[in-house]
Chains A and B, each alone.
Chain A
Amino acid sequence: MTRARALLFALALALAACAPPAEPPIVLDLSGATAPLIDPYRFGEGGATTDQRPGARPAQETDEGGLWMRMDRVEQDLRTSGNLVRDPELNTYVQGLVCALAGPYCSDIRSYVMRLPAFNASMAPNGVMQVWTGLLVRCRDEAQLAAVIGHEIGHYVRRHSMQLWRDARDKTDFLVFFQIAIAAARVPFVTDVVTYGVIGSIYAFGRDAEREADRIGLALMARAGYDPAAVPAIWRQVVREDEADRYRAFRTIYFATHPTPRERLETLDLLARGTRTERRESGAERYRAIMKPRRLDWLRDELALRRFDRMEILLATLVEDEPAAGDLRYMQGEVYRLRGDPGDEAKALDAFRAAAAAEAPPAETHRSLGLVLRRTGERAAADAAFADYLRLKPAAEDRAMIEALIGEAP
């Protein structure tokens, strides 16, 4: 038996060794193509004839028209939501990217940036697209954001919500589905990520729909000149975060509705490598110019979730691109200071010191540095750091508390 197993193992090894080097077939050829944006990509599943047409709206008396009307009311609520980010420059940027990707569907898709932590974006059947700040803070460049937005546009064009809805209606749980659908799209005034996670499950389009959206998304972003490698890259980052979380109580919301990340990653890798295209832009500098001045508050939202293991991965990824960014190094320090694993104190000190020496660190860097130094018994250095904090932020809300700490007997 043991011998048989060893033989099988050896055979398996040999087969693996014999496998040809992975040279994926060309699945999409964009070299020199000037075709219109979406029409050429009828990926053979026969969905194209039922695609949403640009500028079209379903007739009111149809079931689809009814769903759109309800979603329009939800959109009204969204416009007055406390989580809506109204920053005109940011909104212009995101909608601009939507238009660059969606082409003739540009004015059919309305993007809403929501101030909510965690990686997520969603598409309602009437073209309302939510982009969470937790997604913006996780993308390393424009190409990665284009990958996710392109995917969502894929859902819109193929009318996946409608298919899903009709499917549910044919079963018996139509009413439940409908109510949950409305609730899911309605945004409460609190950053209640857990609630979103639960209700988000109605957007589980199913594996085939996700594959379709993946392929359309990849085609759209590659067509717009972005590097297709960004598609597997962004998903890989999020999977790494998920796997690092020791509690795993909160899976990335997106994965509640987008199945089997591992298998999907492999498929996306093949698709990306099989895409022949001449332009392979990342748009990293343009992306950073918009996001960098805004991201500290978004990172604070992430920190408030206290999912330290995930945030450690996220920050390590961002720091690779910007080792001298004071805000990122400060946040790294906060993760280690608050997590408190063995060795975290030293890591926190390193990060705060690096932040203090970097460009534009937040004033709180010095406050946190003081707290860690105090913990390690370096009271004089701690007090000096606290004094730096109060000098840089004279109106700090916790000024009296910090002054009390400075004055405390050792």
Chain B
Amino acid sequence: MLGKIKVWYFKKIAARMIKKHGSEKVNKLALIKKPMKEWKVAFITTAGVHLLNDKPFDVDGGDWGVRFIPSDTKTSDLMITHTHYDTTSADKDVNCVFPISSLQQLSDKKIIGELAPTFYGMMGYIPRVDKLLNESIPKILEKLKEEKVDVVLLSPG
């Protein structure tokens, strides 16, 4: 019950943020010409995932920071710091919100070309959209460009 109220409450906050900052449209989708088996793929999650030895997210403070996660990380070296959704399952198996094992397998099986060296963990409750846009996103974009990524998949939280 409490979980449902929480989801409802944070959905309301998200709706307000969207109204304020979300109205921009991307005019043209990025088109990818090469086949999937040549794609370099990165993953961004806002489910609060980070390395065990990295700084946990300050959830109540609306932490806008980004945590880099090497794409060859083992799931046992990852943890979640987030309180705005029910993390019971994801605490047991991080793949519930951040399917790093599937991605590693898809790359091993050569279904995709390769994984970008870096994945990205963030915590989805970020009231300071200015900090997100001016500090965190540029860090992500710089790394994505540096690593010549073709495709980015994103999961919520």
Query: Are A and B a genuine interacting pair, yes or no?
Result: no
By a beta-carbon cutoff of 8 Å, the part of chain B in contact with chain A is: none
By a beta-carbon cutoff of 8 Å, the part of chain A in contact with chain B is: none
